[in-house]
Amino acid sequence: MKHTTNQVSRRLFLRQTGKYAALAAAVGTASVNPGRLLAQAPELRIREVKAYPIYINQRSDGLLDAPSFEGDDDPRRWRWGGPFEQLPSAIIAVIKTDQGITGFGMGAGGSAAVEIIDGHLSHLLLDANPLNVEQLWDQMYTSGIFYGRRGLFIMAMSALDNALWDIAGKHAGLPVHELLGGADRDRIEIYQTNGNFVAGQAAGGRNFKRTTSGGPRMTEAARSAYVNSVLEARDALGPDVRLMTDCVSRDGTVEWAVSLAQELRPANLYFMEELLSPDDVFGYAELVNRIGGKGAGWTRIACGEHEYTQYGFNVLVKLGAAEILQPDLTWCGGTTAGKRISQLVAAAGLEIIPHRGGSSWGFPIALTSPSCTMAESFPEGSEILDAMSCSVENGFVIAPTEPGFGTSLTEEMVLDYRLSLRQ
């Protein structure tokens, strides 16, 4: 991987002077010794915690509209996620300190997550030192463990945790990836999900993923069309690019997944993603043994986009239920959870490829995880998404150099994109 001389020199200087190690240790070990951080920044306090559902792109259109189904067996009944499903229900947390530092963090859960933040989590953050990032994560998680170990609560936490890391980076004058330990690279190959693969290859792309949905409820015609589209993509792109699939399956079965994998075997897929429900961890372990790298398989099994915290990922790792883990850093518990998940994955000798790893929120974990080989492109379609995306050059996602997450978000932009204004 390429890296810039200025970034490497700056990283070496920080390490040599000890500032880099001290800052990384301060954020990473605050739960062990919170008093040390309080002594370092006795005046830094959180003064305001807000969160807003935002309009991200066309996915948010009609989010709150009541659906109209055509009978009890309408296939949409199995797939309509409602107003709180992860991506369409994006939220932005805005945390302000008494020293004028504002942190922004993306999460999800829409108005329900905002209610959790307003009624519960904000009270744990107000007047606290925002640099105690991991201690605050532990306090928030523990306070909600009897009702929020997964789902909405953790998505709400993700927004706050990311905003705290943004504050820590801005306070230190360093990008978040430097606070996480830095990396001996400043870019990662991008992988493109859907779109025009030939055009993407011409722009320098080397990794592509085709998605479908429906699981076992796919019609034969839809399944055949999907299989053909993947095989045609392989023919068009040639043998040297990495090609992947994502089935976005909520209720797939092991036998259905194995059958589909056999049909797609000529495509020489790098991984197959979300073949089963995220709750079917034993089924995923069986897939790893039957078609993945543990057996006489021909692809890798990827999952984790819809898993939560290091505890959920530890189950996947211990059961051997995935070969590629895909946390989304705006859903799984934020950057603190991502750091801990990355350590679990590394210790197990597995691969981590964060969902939307090319976004501002996903890239620090992607960059600092040695096993990560690709960063997924962030969905396009609005000014606010562009503000939360890393730059791309010739098929590579480039690390930001600005403090914090390096977004160009402003409070005015967040307010302008509030979902309530778009209803």
> How many Cβ atoms from other residues are within 10 Å of residue 283's Cβ?
18
Q: Residues 216, 342: one domain?
A: yes
Closest-CA residue to 291 (of 265, 312, 324, 328): 265
229/148 same-domain check: no
For residue 327, tell me if it sits in a domain.
yes
In a domain, 417, yes or no: no
pTM of the model: 0.90
For the chain, how far is it from start to end, CA to CA, in angstroms?
A: 45
Domain check: are 312 and 332 in the same one?
yes
Q: Which of 53, 139, 195 has its CA nearest to residue 336?
A: 139
Do 275 and 193 belong to one domain?
Answer: yes
Render pLDDT for 161-216 as a digit per residue (tens, 0 to 9).
999 999 999 999 999 999 999 999 999 999 999 999 999 999 999 999 999 987 89
CATH number at 48 reads 3.30.390.10
Looking at the domain assignment, is residue 423 inside a domain? no
Q: Please, which pLDDT band fits residue 28 given cuts at 50, 70 and 90?
A: low
- The domain that contains 216 carries what CATH number? 3.20.20.120
- The verdict on residue 349 lying in a domain is yes
* 168 and 194 co-located in one domain: no
Domain count along the chain:
2
Asked, for residue 415, whether it belongs to a domain, the answer is no
> Which domain, by its residues, includes 60?
5-64+72-173
Answer yes or no: are the C-beta atoms of 75 and 35 closer than 8 Å: no
Inter-residue contact 324 to 301 (CB < 8 Å): yes
pLDDT tens-digit profile of 321-380? 999 999 999 999 999 999 999 999 999 999 999 999 999 999 999 999 999 999 998 656
pLDDT tens sequence across 56-103: 877 666 566 788 999 998 888 888 888 888 888 999 999 999 999 999
Instruction: Looking at the structure, tell me whether residues 215 and 100 fall in a common domain.
Output: no
**CA nearest neighbour of 110 among 152, 141, 78:** 152
- Say yes or no: 159 and 284 in one domain: no
**374 shares a domain with 237:** yes
Catalytic residues: 355
Radius of gyration of the chain (CA): 21
Same domain, 160 and 192: no
Burial of 111 (0-12, 13-18, 19+ CB in 10 A): middle
> Do residue 108 and residue 225 come from a single domain?
no
Of 135, 155, 173, the residue at which a domain comes to its end is 173
- The Cα–Cα gap between 83 and 164 comes to 26
Chosen domain end from 155, 173, 191: 173
- Identify the domain boundary among 139, 173, 207: 173
Q: Are residues 152 and 76 in the same domain?
A: yes
Domain membership of residue 350 (yes or no) is: yes
Q: Are residues 193 and 223 in the same domain?
A: yes
